[in-house]
Amino acid sequence: MPRVGILALQGDYAAHSKILDELQVAWQLVKMPRELDTVQGLIIPGGESTTLLKLMAPIAMRPALEAFHAQGRPIFGTCAGLILLAKETRDPAQESLGFIDIVAGRNAYGRQIDSFIDRGTPLVEELGIAPLEMVFIRAPKILQLGPSVTPLATHHDETVLARQQNILVSSFHPELTADRRVHRYFVDMVTTANDILRI
């Protein structure tokens, strides 16, 4: 069974670890670049994207993430993690890693006071047909999808879960719900990629 890392510089990384425990998936917190060498997938949790970038810079986390991505290792970004992984960010623009061909609108669902819980629609068989519970907290919107990006779930006809190759992003916080389908989907991505890379 592969091990999933959770970037633990800032944000709600503890909630993701509890879900991985429930799914009986090995995990570890990642606070330094060298720790990426011992995991086969990575979750970048929600939080504050500009703060996360500032914390990454002095420890050279960006080049380590670029190398991890270049190896074909899966990465899952929720909320601020989506912003960090996007090709372009707006409102306002900021630095990002560019691992997935989307344009992200920061805080597009409103401020903290505008946070809400709702249900969305899964679009792929792996996520089933039952509505997905979604928690939106200062959430970004996916404003544009590149041609090689696959929408996996929508909320009011807007894509809120998407994938491009081994990158998965979510506008909402699946770790704050009782629904484990999104995390299972990501764990399956990690397992598949690990099997391929071991051949």
Which residues are marked as active site?
A: 79, 173, 175
- 136: Cβ contacts below 8 Å, ≥ 6 apart: 109, 115, 116, 117, 118, 155, 171, 172, 173
Q: Are 140 and 171 in contact (CB under 8 A)?
A: yes
Count of C-beta atoms within a 10 Å radius of residue 58: 7
HSE-CB at 62 with a 13 A cutoff on CA atoms is 13
For the stretch 89-92, contacts whose Cβ atoms lie closer than 8 Å and that sit 24 or more positions apart, written own/partner, are 89/49, 89/140, 90/143
Spatial separation of the C-alpha atoms in residues 126 and 124, rounded to whole Å: 6
Residue 38 corresponds to which tokens in the numbers above? 């011992």
